[in-house]
Amino acid sequence: MPYLFTSESVSEGHPDKVADQISDALIDNFLAFDVDSKVACETLVTTGQVVLAGEVKSTTYLDVQKIARDTINKIGYTKGEYMFDGNSCGVFSAIHPQSPDINQGVDRGSKEEQGAGDQGMMFGYATNETENYMPLALDLSHRILIELAALRNENKDITYLRPDSKSQVTIEYSDDNIPQRIDAIVVSTQHDDFADDDTMLTKIRKDIVDILIPRVVAKLPEAIQVLFNDDIKYHINPTGKFVIGGPHGDTGLTGRKIIVDTYGGKGAHGGGAFSGKDPSKVDRSAAYATRHIAKNLVAAGVATEVLVQVSYAIGVVEPMGIFIDTYGTCPFNMTDGEIAEKVSQIFDMRPFAIEERLKLRSPMYSETAAYGHMGRTNRTVSKTFSQPNGNSVTLDVELFTWEKLDYVDKVKDAFGL
């Protein structure tokens, strides 16, 4: 019997994502001047206020208040009427040194023997239902908000948009797990106040359906375009009004959108957040490494859908184990346990090996903090960072290294494909 599956996304202006982006901007700035920085930084944002808290071990000094303000302004919170803007909000820092009890379990005489920064389990997932090997409902939810942000920044076709927004897509699947059609789309977007509420609702709905959605569809592969139809149920700003939003409407915290950050409810999640953590924290680095594994396995033809789990003990170098679930989609006669054994031989999952393989000690994290950490485009960008003393550094930074299909040939060789 056909079934429905739903995933959601939130925009860069969502309060939790504002917090994530501030935390990751701090990570990038610390790593730009000290690649060995150890950072765990949480951010809270609310009406007119930002609170930074966490632990840092680094040789560099940063103006964390300026970094927070610059991030907020870049997102688009630049007006006093939002009750939260980068130029006037208060920024309170309660960042303090990292615990030596934790550090002694991570730092070793040899970097290769670096222990895991915490215990826990991390998951990676990939499916062949999209070109970027991501679940379709989540991919579409992200695309809707990326395009909505583009419209807001263009300020031409739609001029009333404010930074906060959310989306949700429901897809009907067949019994054999093939997407058949889009059943429903939800878009809630913050907006300027209108003189008349009825006019407001009518215009916002028309603009979303007639301007936003066609722009999204035009950028999709033809196989996905055909899933859009005239019977889609649209829920546009279903509460009726969304003027008050962002950190003034809801308090935001780092790490509260971990399902948006990963696979939209498909696969599994170990529970650990990503943003604000340097790569010695396996919550982050191992989640990227398992995504890298899952994507390369699917691309190599080991399965059409794969879930990868790895687990660690704090301070211990080798992982506790690697688990693979192919959901019965492996086309050849090999058990998931046998696949896991081969995976452990192909991919070195020691924390330092992950950092080296995926180049995780570079300041690549600000770009991950909105619209998902997975399924993004691997590319190299130039980034400039400045210190309070006037020193600056410009670096070429490779982004989303865990999305590379650089192990497909190795996987094929190992599995005889």
Q: Is 345 annotated as a binding residue?
A: no
The secondary structure of 107-118 as a DSSP string is --SSGGGPPBSS
Give the sign of the dihedral formed by CA 66, CA 287, CA 299, CA 139. Answer: negative
Q: Is 42 annotated as a binding residue?
A: yes
For residue 139, report the phi and psi dihedrals to the nearest 5 degrees.
-60, -45
Q: Is 93 annotated as a binding residue?
A: no
Residues 181, 171: Cα–Cα separation, whole Å: 6
Rg value, the chain, Cα: 22
For residue 260 the two structure tokens come to 């948006």
Is the separation of the CB atoms in 54 and 41 below 8 Å?
yes
Residues 76, 87: Cα–Cα separation, whole Å: 11
Is the separation of the CB atoms in 343 and 356 below 8 Å?
no
Is the separation of the CB atoms in 115 and 244 below 8 Å?
no
Q: Is 98 annotated as a binding residue?
A: yes
- Which helix (H) or strand (E) segment holds residue 102: the answer is helix 100-106
Q: CB atoms < 10 A from the CB of 382, how many?
A: 8
Q: Is 141 annotated as a binding residue?
A: no
Residues 31, 202: Cα–Cα separation, whole Å: 47
Q: Is 250 annotated as a binding residue?
A: yes
Q: Is 241 annotated as a binding residue?
A: yes
Candidates 234, 91, 235, 79; CA nearest to 163 is 79
Helix locations, 317-387, DSSP H: 336-346, 351-358
For residue 286 the two structure tokens come to 């191992």
Q: CB atoms < 10 A from the CB of 369, how many?
A: 27
Q: Is 273 annotated as a binding residue?
A: yes
- The sheet that has 321-325: what strands, in order across it? 120-127, 305-312, 321-325
For residue 232 the two structure tokens come to 């889609």
Helix locations, 167-221, DSSP H: 197-207, 213-218
Is the separation of the CB atoms in 336 and 326 below 8 Å?
yes
* Binding region: 14, 16, 42, 55, 98, 164-166, 241-242, 250, 256-257, 273, 277, 281
* Binding region for L-methionine: 55, 98, 250, 281
* Binding region for K(+): 42
* Binding region for ATP: 14, 164-166, 241-242, 250, 256-257, 273, 277
* Binding region for Mg(2+): 16
